[in-house]
Structure 1
Amino acid sequence: MNSTIARADRTSSLYWHFAPTVLALGYPWYLTKFYEATGNHSTAGALFAMALVYAVPASAFVSLLTLARLDVSGRQTVILRRLAHLTFASPPLYVIVGVLLYLMKINGADGKVWLGLWAAVTVGSLLTLSTERSDTALSRPIVNTSRVRVLHGVASVAIIAVYLFPHLGNHAVGVFGTDVHKSVMLGLRHIYRAGWLEPILIALFFFQIVSGLVLLAPKLNLKQDFLGAVQTATGAYLVIFIASHITHRSEI
């Protein structure tokens, strides 16, 4: 009897981790209010809207950091950690939604689609959590990811050297004027979009996404310290961020 009550109390104490996910439901409207406030020269309104925008990933990070410090003895914690990481990556997720709708020539529906998808994720997670026993044993198969880590690192170095440094450098020269920025951008695009190099770059980005997920998944089943939580949070964010930029080819 006492053990049942203890499990129920533990489960109910985990539900506050849904707060960031519920907050993320309004993410598109926070952005809209920010642009409206800046257009109306309302400093207070713009600051409030921007605070809500940043509150989504910030609150999600607090949640995933708290969950990372718990002993992962059941699936409930793992479910919430996955949800917290997904919520932390709300900004690039919203970009992906917008890009996909643009490619499908569906205009003005970003907010509604986001609300529907995010509500489904929230309700689905709630139902899964409510039906999952807190004392359900979590199987932890031994996964050797050493080779994946090495290849992931090699691909990262290649992307940084060939694409990221020049790309960020292109943005940096923008301080010298838009004409300089544009001329450098057009020059770099001749390299990025060379017939032999562009497929390699895209393949490297896709490999980063897949290998990143392979490396991320086992870590969400383990207790972690602050640096470990930062690593998984940024990893989840980058996986979705890279995917959003691959779908938007004009960024390359």
Structure 2
Amino acid sequence: MSAFDQGRVRPGDDGLANAAAEKLRSMTPVAGAMAYPFLLDAFHLAVSPTDGRMSFGRLALAALCLLAATVVPLLGLACAYWMTMAAPSSFELRARRLAYISVGAPPLFVLTGVGLGLLHIPVSDELVWVAAWLAAGLYVLLGGEPERPATSAAIAPSIAKWRVTHGIAAAIILFYVAFHLTNHLLGLFGPEVHGAVMKIGRTVYRSSVIEPILVGLMLFQIAVGVRLAWRWSALPADAYRVFQIGSGVYLAAFIVTHLNSAFVSARAVHHIDTNWDWASGAPTGLIHDAWSIRLVPHYALGVFFVLGHLASGLRGVLIAHGVATTIANRIWATGLAMGALIAIAIMSGLCGVRI
């Protein structure tokens, strides 16, 4: 029984107080998501001293703000796990699903900014962001109580084939992901090395045959992944399943955002080459630009979650084929650790670190 389940109203409790406290706790992911852009603003102010001098205090404050912003999706994961229970009420299920959506805050905030720019809407993206999360929170708090969701026995057979298809498509996309991440790692040796390798890769993945197939597979993964996440989010889940669902939600938001930024904004509208300068926010850079700082957690967590999601899928395959759960869990944990290290290395290169 989860902590959230234990917090339900019971005979003898102060019913109104317990219900109110439960609903307030369910808004924790909403509060984290709403705070996200302002944590990035605080980081930018800390690294932009008016006198040009960067004190240790400012550096520490900047690091703390960026760390807090990066933790927002992890807070969503933790809350989704805490809110996982058998036979949830409609309110509890809405709250859990909103917690999963909050995991995708970094790419969704990028999508908000780019989308408003493309639509030429002269409204602060932070204002739109806060309004959207307030509306989502109110929906969770004030929504009605329709039928309870289906049980695991009813859900599992209906998505078993989709899980297999999702895994097969992921295995194909993995070739591109491996090249793409390796190419970004080479940025540690300089933009010239990255550019030379990317030029070779583009002859394949930007060809008139491969690129439409690759984009189609990405969109297919989003559609199937969202379907799987929606179904599995209604069921009890251990920490491994919660991470798999949450990382999948992040990747769905990340892929949509990245496709929009690269294909629509950069290539179709502004006719910008999506090269190293584009990715690294040149000439100002990702760190010192008030808008581009949002790309740091967006990119870093994108790398971490794509590798973590693959590790989660591998764990499931290993267990299904008779590998001991303890061994599969160690492989999963190793995958997450490697994902974190690779994410740090890639972001270090994008922010100017060179070997």
TM bracket, shorter-chain basis: 0.7 to 0.9
RMSD in angstroms over aligned alpha carbons? 2.4
1:45 corresponds to which residue?
A: 61
Please give the TM-score of this superposition, normalised by the length of structure 1: 0.87
Alignment of 1:73-222 (within 5 A): 73-106=88-121, 109-128=124-143, 131-132=144-145, 137-140=148-151, 141-142=154-155, 143-161=157-175, 163-222=176-235
Q: Which amino acid aligns with 2:39?
A: Y
Question: How many pairs are equivalent?
Answer: 245
**Match of 1:25, SS?**
helix
Contact persistence 2:87–2:148 (CA under 8 A)? no
Q: For residue 76 of structure 2, what is the aligned residue in structure 1?
A: 60
Map of 2:322 onto structure 1: none
* Residue in 2 that maps onto 1:231: 244
Amino acid at match of 2:20: S
1:36 corresponds to which letter in structure 2?
Answer: L
Question: Would the aligned equivalents of 2:36 and 2:72 in 1 still touch at CA under 8 Å?
Answer: yes
Would you identify which runs of 4 or more consecutive aligned residues in structure 1 move more than 4 Å?
2-10
Match of 2:293 in 1: none
Shift of 1:58: 2.6
1:243 to 256, 262, 265: 256
| Alpha-carbon displacement from aligned partner over 1:161-186 (angstroms, at most 9, x marks no partner) | 1x111111111212222111112223
Show the counterpart of 2:289: none
Query: In the alignment, which residue of structure 2 is the partner of 1:12?
Result: 20
Cα distance in structure 1, aligned partners of 2:171 and 2:202 = 20
- Find the aligned partners of 2:68 and 2:260 in 1 and give their Cα distance: 27
Q: What do residues 112-169 of structure 1 show as CA deviations (whole Å, max 9, x unaligned)?
A: 22122122112222212xx438xx64444545112211111111011111x1111111
Q: Secondary structure at the match of 1:14?
A: helix
User: Residue 72 of structure 1 contacts residue 78 of structure 1 at CA under 8 Å; is this kept in 2?
Assistant: no
Structure 2 distance, partners of 1:7, 1:199, is 56
In 2, distance between residues paired with 1:196 and 1:171?
A: 24
Contact 2:94 2:140 survives alignment (8 Å): yes
The letter of the residue matching 1:89 is G
Shift, 1:206, TM fit: 0.4
Matched, 1:35 2:44: yes
Cα distance 1:190–1:112, how it changes in 2: closer, same or farther (>3 A)? Answer: farther
Give TM-score scaled by structure 2 length: 0.63
Distance, in Å, in 2 between the alignment partners of 1:171 and 1:199 is 22
Structure 1, unpaired ranges of 5+: none
Please give the alpha-carbon distance, in whole angstroms, between the structure 1 residues aligned to 2:122 and 2:181.
30
CA distance in 2: counterparts of 1:54 and 1:172, whole angstroms: 21
Distance in 2, Cα, partners of 1:149 & 1:185? 32
Aligned letter for 1:158?
I
SS at match of 2:47: helix
The 3 A distance-change label for structure 1 pair 52 and 108 is farther
Distance of 1:196 and 1:186 partners within structure 2? 17
Q: Look up the equivalent residue of 1:38 and give its one-letter code.
A: V
| Contiguous gaps of at least 5 residues in structure 2 | 1-9, 267-273, 276-355
Provide, for residues 5-47 of structure 1, a one-character-per-residue CA deviation record: whole Å limited to 9, x for no partner.
Answer: 6865663342212122123212112112212212222213202
